[in-house]
Amino acid sequence: MLTAAHTQYLNNLVGAENFYTDPAHLQAYAYDATRERHLPDGVIFPRHEEDVRQILAYCNEHQIIIVPRGAGSGFTGGALSAHGGLVLSLEKHFDRILEIDEKNLIARVQPGVINKHFQNEVEKRGLFYPPDPASQDQSTLGGNVSENAGGMRAAKYGITKDYVMALRAVLPNGDVIRAGKKTIKDVAGFNVAGILIASEGCLAVITEITLKLLAKPKLKQSAMGVFSSIQDAMEAVYKSMASGVTPVAMEFLDNLSIRAVEERFNKGLPTEAGAILITQVDGSVPEQISWQLEQIEKHFRENGCVDFRVAQNAQQEEDLWFARRNASQSISVYGKKKLNEDVTVPRASLPALLQEVERISQAYNLPIPCFGHTGDGNVHVNIMLEDPATQLEKGQQAMEEIFKSAIALEGTLSGEHGIGLSKARFMPLAFTPEEMALFRRIKSAFDPNNILNPFKMGL
């Protein structure tokens, strides 16, 4: 796809140190967290926005595919060049925090800044950036915006889109656009920033992000509730939140997940429990913390909670969260390969969703440990395959049934991970032909030659 002339042009533009076509380097940009591999024809590292502009304009003219890439930590292949072309990596030269404006509680960053690095920098100043995807140590803010990343704190603080105030971006034709403002209120022009968020790199290359910050809450405290059945736990989630408490996080592990963590780490977890809920509240004064924990305990106990433990110090806090943090890696005890998806339903439909997962697990005779962000209805379902060679098709059928159940419960195919390549074939389960046609027209409005991350999202 890349001719000698293209290679020469791009090489001259950014310099040989910022443009690779040798197999070793291409291999390094062929992967993401899906474990699929797709070799690009080249990897280019723009040094600044003007490079992005020139690269896009050139590739648009010559119909060369561009796949924007942050850290490559995505779960759905959004940063994979499944159809060749150029990977445009923002990790090398777009990694600066440009401004932390403490007067306005706003930051301006480049898209290659690592989420956790940014969190640390703002917290040093007593400020707070809530979105905390599990990938926060690796994933970039540009990737977070492109996938609209969530995390554990979404129950109270929302997700990436709730913090994006403005973007700068380059369109495939080389036009530089600004979208949004540094102001809470801005109703001039179409909400272009809104449509760029979660667009999975299909519409434009983001070159600068303006994010809203909060003051860091002074106090926080965590608690764990143990439930004999998962149904009880799921009822407790939505009933406690409907009562007027909004915890920072309301996470759960099902019995399989609890037992997996216990098997690996031996932490004295309640292995007979149907589920545990781990929650955290925050605030400015101690009375606010205790009021929230009292309310949660009351609603937990009314819904079958047999044990409620409040962390009394940092160590206990750490211990309570240990099980949740180690669930994802621990469930490998159930199989060599996992098919993991992140379906999401309205909270009150969690009991029904988990019942469906149980039914599907039995019907397909596959263990499906579940854990995740029940506070926002987001469940990580993990179909475990002991022998992937013979079980893969069965596992995929089971996953399709789970998707259908989630959608029937007014939920979504993906709460956090996006669609990318992995879920592209499921889009018709969730969207009508008319809705898919609208997506394609929006794509064309930004990218008429379809050079930016084509074929992703089922487009």
Under rule CB under 8 A, which residues in 318-347 are in contact with a second copy? 344-347
Between 88 and 155, CB nearer to a second copy = 155
Residue 192 in contact with a second copy, rule: CB under 8 A:
yes
Stretch near a second copy under the rule CB under 8 A, chosen from 7-15, 47-55, 57-65, 283-291: 283-291
Tokens of 143: 């990737």
From 12-20, 40-48, 222-230, 430-438, span contacting a second copy (CB under 8 A) = 430-438
Regarding 386 and contact with a second copy (CB under 8 A), the answer is no
Query: 16, 24, 103, 266: which one contacts a second copy (CB under 8 A)?
Result: 103
**Residue 27 sits in the site that holds a second copy (CB under 8 A):** no
Q: Is 425 in the site for a second copy (CB under 8 A)?
A: no
Q: Taking CB under 8 A as the criterion, which residues in 126-165 touch a second copy? A: 126, 147-148, 150, 154-155, 158-159, 161-162
Residue whose CB is less far from a second copy, 6 or 443: 443
Q: Please tell me whether residue 95 binds a second copy under the rule CB under 8 A.
A: no
Please pick, from the candidates 178, 267, 336, 359, the single residue that binds a second copy as defined by CB under 8 A: 178
387 binds a second copy (CB under 8 A): no
241 binds a second copy (CB under 8 A): yes
CA distances from 261 to 152, 253, 330 (A): 19, 10, 5
CB atoms inside a 10 Å sphere around CB 218: 13
Q: Interface with a second copy includes 246 (CB under 8 A)?
A: yes
For position 348 contacting a second copy by CB under 8 A, the verdict is: yes
Nearer to a second copy, 18 or 344 (CB): 344
**Is there binding between residue 377 and a second copy (CB under 8 A)?**
yes
For residue 373, state whether it binds a second copy (rule: CB under 8 A): yes
Of the CA atoms within 13 Å of residue 30, those in its CB half-sphere come to 17
77 contacts a second copy (rule: CB under 8 A): no
Q: Which stretch binds a second copy (CB under 8 A): 13-21, 56-64, 101-109, 116-124?
A: 101-109
The one among 214, 267, 271, 428 contacting a second copy by CB under 8 A: 214
Question: Is 6 or 417 the residue whose CB approaches a second copy more closely?
Answer: 417
3-state secondary structure the chain: CCCHHHHHHHHHHHCHHHEECCHHHHHHCCECCCCCECCCCEEECCCCHHHHHHHHHHHHHCCCCEEEECCCCCCCCCCCCCCCCEEEECCCCCCCEEEEECCCCEEEECCCCEHHHHHHHHHHCCEECCCCCCCCCCCEHHHHHHHCCCCCCHHHHCCHHHCEEEEEEECCCCCEEEEECCCCCCCCCCCHHHHHCCCCCCCCEEEEEEEECEECCCEEEEEEEEECCHHHHHHHHHHHHHCCCCCCEEEEEEHHHHHHHHHHHCCCCCCCCCEEEEEEEEECCHHHHHHHHHHHHHHHHHCCEEEEEECCCHHHHHHHHHHHHCHHHHHHHHCCEEEEECCECCHHHHHHHHHHHHHHHHHHCCCCCEEEEHHHCEEEEEEEECCHHHHHHHHHHHHHHHHHHHHHCCCECCCCCCCCCCCHHHHHHHCCHHHHHHHHHHHHHHCCCCCECCCHHHC
Q: Is 220 in the site for a second copy (CB under 8 A)?
A: no
Closest approach, Cβ 15 to a second copy, in A, equals 28
376 binds a second copy (CB under 8 A): yes
| The binder of a second copy chosen from 7, 412, 449, 450 (CB under 8 A) | 412
**From the CB of 368, what's the least distance to a second copy, in Å?**
20
Q: What's the closest the beta carbon of residue 305 comes to a second copy, in angstroms? A: 18
- By CB under 8 A, residue 428 contacts a second copy: no
Q: Is 48 in the site for a second copy (CB under 8 A)?
A: no
404: contact with a second copy by CB under 8 A: no
